[in-house]
Amino acid sequence: MTILLEIPDSVARAMRLPPNEQRRQLKTELAVGLYTQGILSFGKACELAEMTKVEFSLLLGKRNIPRQYDEQDLQDDINYAGS
């Protein structure tokens, strides 16, 4: 399923971004917001923002947004490191 989000022309024109940067920046902001609220996982937020995990981690750090890391994430990391 693909969701198409319509941004009114008046809002798009009011953004202080070059038109060729608007799509990328909006996707990044949506990804950060949904991740911060716990709506998207870290991996899916990276996917939405079209960033690597390192890039997204650096962005969160730059914005002082704590990384959500639970016991399942730890177990996944342990399993990955052991393989």
Mean pLDDT of 47-55: 95
Domain-located, residue 45: yes
pLDDT of residue 21: 95
Domain-located, residue 25: yes
Domain-located, residue 48: yes
Domain-located, residue 61: yes
Count of the separate structural domains present in the chain: 1
CB 75 within 8 A of CB 82: no
Q: How far apart are CA 8 and CA 49, in angstroms?
A: 21
SS3 21: helix
pLDDT of residue 82: 87
Domain-located, residue 8: no
pLDDT of residue 17: 94
> Which of 70, 38, 42, 39 shows the shortest CA–CA distance to 58?
42
Mean pLDDT of 33-41: 93
Mean pLDDT of 68-79: 81
Mean pLDDT of 44-63: 95
More confident residue, 41 or 64: 64
Q: How far apart are CA 30 and CA 33, in angstroms?
A: 5
Poorest-pLDDT segment among 6-15, 31-40, 52-61, 72-81: 72-81
For residue 66, the 8-state DSSP code is P
Domain that holds residue 58: 18-82
